[in-house]
A and B are shown apart, each in its own frame.
Chain A
Amino acid sequence: MTAEALEPSPSGAATEPILSLRGIQKSFGAVHVLRGVDLDVRRGQVTALVGDNGAGKSTLIKGIAGIHGFDDGDYLFEGKPVTVHGPRDANALGIEVVYQDLALCDNLDVVHNMFLGRELGNVAALDEDAMEARARETLDGLSVRTLQSVRTSVASLSGGQRQTVAIARAVLWNSKLVVLDEPTAALGVAQTEQVLRLVRRLADNGLAVILISHNLNDVFEVADDIAVLYLGSMVAQVKRADVTSNQVVELITSGRFGDMGLSAQAAAQVEEDQ
């Protein structure tokens, strides 16, 4: 009942995957959410994670982020099996997640938000200068030039700028893998473009990026790799260049397309289980 016909890993995979999941299982009570998921994420690449509502995308990334553990399966980070018991463990490995609601404090400025909960300085005094300088450095490194001042309060920023701040916060900590949950969901056309460019830049700077999105236009614009979840199974992880948008839609909605994805029996089986 698990995916039996996973596409071979992208042929141009020169680097070892930074994150490898093998046979991940997760149930909430009687609901079997993840059914043996395999996933490879590489440095310098944007791996898009797509799937319909309820396919298990959120469960998968929450497991990666350590918010809840997986029931079974291997979690390899930089080739070594690791156990992630909480968000702190994930952060320590260099994994940062940018959630859809961004989790920013509107009443604080950009610098304060980027260092929220991890301020520089000692008990007696914050080191504002160091924080401000490093915030600027990080934003400059991402070629973010839409922020006039890092001392403006986040409330005054547009949706795209807020997303930018949240992403910059995620890369501030020498992170290696950044997970972005629907970063463009609430944005207009120009801002979506701006955020997608930033996502691409993260990968070009050598980070591994997992991008969750419902929007296949976005996915085809920035992703190197597309991983399709269908009812808790990873039905395909393919290179973007190897597929068309229609094929991906078919994979998302029915779990198979031609020789990609689940076999006919497996698809029927999964559907039956639901």
Chain B
Amino acid sequence: MTTPDTQTTSPQTDEPGRPASSSSNFGDIVRAYIARLRGGDLGSLPAVLGLVVLVIVFSALRPERFPSAFNIANLLNQSAAVVVLAMGLVFVLLLGEIDLSAGFTGGTAAAVTGVVMTEHGWAWVPSLLTGLATGALIGTIIGLLVARLGIPSFVVTLAFFLGLQGVVLVIIGEGGTIAYRNEVLLALNNDPMPVWLGWTFAVVGLALYAFLTWRQDSRRRKHGLEAQSVLLWTIKTGALVVLVLAFVAYLSMERSPNPTLKSIKGVPLVVAIIVALLVVLTYLLDRTAWGRHIYAVGGNAEASRRSGINVARIKLTCFVMCSTMAALAGLLIASRNNSASPTTGGGTFLLYGVGAAVIGGTSLFGGKGRVSNAIIGGLVISVIDNGMGLLRQSTGNVYMITGLVLLVAASVDAISRRRATASGRA
């Protein structure tokens, strides 16, 4: 894509270099997309392809179990905590930083919420907010240590990883658990939405998407700026409508093993939470100065500082965001397990979160990543976990395969990065 630097000699008067009008027929769209891929701008494509392959393989091996609506809903609930954690981690990864303590930040938040709710009888709203505030507080301390004192985030969060593990043990007591009994918190990551609500969200959401993107395109065209062609808009919107409606329809079917006893149907509630987070966080990253500055700091901190961006404040806010999301992730685990325990947020949780972000296409070098990466990567990890479980594979094999997938994802990132540098699309 790089234009040669031969500048035409005529000085001022020529027609100014307007961008070539955007691709308007199907062939152009495909060609533009392939050119982007060849330039090394793979985005989430490898992860999406991997996800599709995994789903096909597991569906072929366990056709009666894996693709069933019951299992898909179950899988979504299983993946929710890792996805939300990874969404938070994207913010610190974008800066080129890391938060190793995010898992136990979630555990601490789940424990604190459990204590105030179950032991002190608080209502669910203040309990939930207290948990999230716990995360925000931890993030503030980490952020201050990293941004103001300049301690590497690896070390700060390693210390918090150890320390918070201790905090959870102290709060809950060794071998203890705190039961979650509140209906609403338990519903978060267990219950489906009523069928009508799932359809309402889907239709309203799709209509909003179609309307807003259409309005943006026509506004850009009116201002003489490059905009996606009507055809591309139609393809994107159409594909999204089909996918979303098929998804909602599939999950709106009865999936209870014994429908006469208890009917289970509808999109899991947690899906609505994740979609809402996706929209809000993507908006923050793409459309606000704060988000822009996050990418800038991750791309070139010195240039950002000279441009007057408050680099320390950007770092601090990203750590607060990450830890708050981690707290929510911890609450989702507790909701799923009906309790908080000293192991909540431990084990492979954090590393799955980082892995999910990286598999989805977020770079550990900073400056590159999206919130949607977390969802795709989190689904890949959960599908492996879930599918291999159905195949009665040992945990050892699951870890090995997950490790392999992460390695492949990191290689894809490295190779596409090299191509991107060669073709200049980092």
- The chain A residues found within 8 Å of chain B, CB to CB, are 87-88, 99, 102-108, 112, 116-119, 121, 123-126, 128-129, 132-133, 136, 139-140, 143-153, 155-158, 160-161, 190-191, 193-194, 197, 201
Interface window among B47-55, B288-296, B328-336, B405-413: B288-296
**A-contacting 9-mer, from B62-70, B155-163, B184-192, B219-227:** B219-227
Can you add 12 more A-B contacts, CB < 8 Å, to A103-B302, A148-B20, A193-B7?
A: A103-B307, A104-B300, A106-B299, A116-B307, A117-B309, A118-B308, A119-B292, A129-B223, A151-B19, A153-B425, A161-B3, A190-B7
Contact in complex: A143, B292 (CB < 8 Å): no
A152 to B1, Cβ gap below 8 A? yes
- 30 cross-chain CB contacts under 8 A: A103-B303, A103-B306, A103-B307, A104-B303, A105-B303, A105-B304, A106-B299, A106-B367, A107-B368, A108-B295, A108-B299, A117-B304, A117-B307, A125-B287, A126-B287, A126-B289, A126-B292, A132-B225, A139-B16, A140-B16, A143-B11, A144-B17, A146-B17, A147-B17, A149-B19, A153-B425, A156-B423, A156-B426, A157-B2, A201-B12
Tell which of A116, A118, A155 touches B420, judged by Cβ atoms closer than 8 Å.
A155
Shortest CB distance B354–A (Å): 20
- B14 part of interface (Cβ distance < 8 Å): yes
Contact A149 B226 (CB under 8 A): yes
A123 lies within 8 A of B224 (CB): no
Q: Which residue of B lies closest to A104 (CB)?
A: B303
**Quick one: given A105-B295, A106-B300, A117-B304, are A157 and B19 in contact (CB under 8 Å)?**
no
Q: Known contacts being A121-B289, A126-B292, is A105 close to B367, with CB within 8 Å?
A: yes
Kindly identify which residue among B7, B20, B289, B367 contacts A107, using a CB–CB cutoff of 8 Å: B367
Taking the complex as formed, is B24 at the interface, i.e. its CB lies under 8 A from any CB of chain A?
Answer: no
Partner of A88, one of B14, B16, B308: B308
Q: Nearest A residue to B224 by beta-carbon distance? A: A133
B interface size (C-beta, 8 A): 47
Interface presence of B5 (CB below 8 A): yes
Indicate with 1 or 0, residue by residue over B214-233, a CB within 8 angstroms of chain A CB atoms. 00000110011110000000
Contacts of B224 in A (CB 8 A): 133
What's the Cα separation between A106 and B225 when bound, in Å?
Answer: 23
- Pick the contact of A194 from B7, B14, B304, B423 — CB < 8 Å? B7
Most chain A CB atoms below 10 A, which of B296, B299, B309: B299
Is B296 within 8 A of A105, CB to CB? yes
Give the distance to chain A from B7, nearest Cβ to Cβ, in Å: 5
Bound state CA distance, A41 and B408, in angstroms? Answer: 58
| Shortest beta-carbon distance from B135 to chain A in Å | 24
Identify whether the interface residues of B are mostly helix, strand, loop, or mixed: loop
Chain B residues, Cβ within 8 Å of A161: 3, 5
User: Quick check: is B421 within 8 A (CB to CB) of the other chain?
Assistant: yes
Contact across chains for A156 and B309 when beta carbons are under 8 A apart? no
Kindly name the residue among B5, B8, B17, B219 whose own CB sees the greatest number of chain A CB atoms within 10 A. B5
Which of B2, B8, B368 lies in contact with A156, CB distance below 8 A? Answer: B2
User: Does the CB pair B426–A124 fall under 8 Å?
Assistant: no
B200 on the A face (CB < 8 A): no
| A161 CA to B308 CA, complexed, in Å | 23
CB contacts under 8 Å to A, within B68-109, are: none
Distance (whole angstroms) from the CB of B12 to the closest CB of chain A: 5
Which chain A residues lie closer than 8 Å to B238 at the CB level?
none
Q: Does B6 contact A (CB under 8 A)?
A: yes
B298 at the interface (CB under 8 A from A): yes
**Chain A residues with CB under 8 A of B12:** 143, 201
Tell me whether A126 and B3 are in contact in the complex, defined as CB-CB below 8 angstroms, given that A103-B302, A118-B308, A155-B420 are known contacts. no
Q: Give complex CA distance A28, B141 in Å.
A: 38
User: Is B424's CB within 8 Å of the partner chain A?
Assistant: yes
B292 touches A107 (CB 8 A): no
Q: Are A107 and B304 in contact (CB under 8 A)?
A: no
Contact with A along B259-271 (1 / 0, CB 8 A): 0000000000000
| CB-defined contacts of A103 to chain B, threshold 8 Å | 300, 302-303, 306-307
Interface centre among B1, B19, B289, B421 (most CB of A within 10 A): B289
Does B17 lie within 8 Å of A116, measured CB to CB? no
**Cβ of B2: which chain A residues have Cβ within 8 Å of it?**
156-158
CA distance A155 to B289 in the complex (A): 21
Chain A residue at minimal CB-CB distance from B7: A194
Contacts of B302 in A (CB 8 A): 103
CB-CB nearest in chain B for A99? B306
Contacts of A136 in B (CB 8 A): 16, 18, 225
Contacts of B424 in A (CB 8 A): 153, 155-157
**Is there contact, CB below 8 Å, between A105 and B7?**
no
Chain A hits for B292, CB < 8 A: 108, 112, 119, 126
- CB <8 Å contact, A116 and B304: yes
Q: Is the CB of B426 within 8 A of A148?
A: no
Contact B17 A145 (CB under 8 A): yes
Name the one of B5, B289, B306 contacting A158, with C-beta atoms under 8 angstroms.
B5
Q: A107-B368, A190-B5 are in contact. Are A116 and B421 (CB under 8 A)?
A: no
Contacts A123-B289, A133-B223 hold; do A116 and B296 have CB atoms under 8 A apart? yes
CB atoms of B19 and A145 under 8 A apart: no
Docked pose: A191 CA to B3 CA in angstroms: 12
A148 touching B225 by the CB < 8 A rule? no
- Are B308 and A117 in contact, CB atoms less than 8 angstroms apart? yes
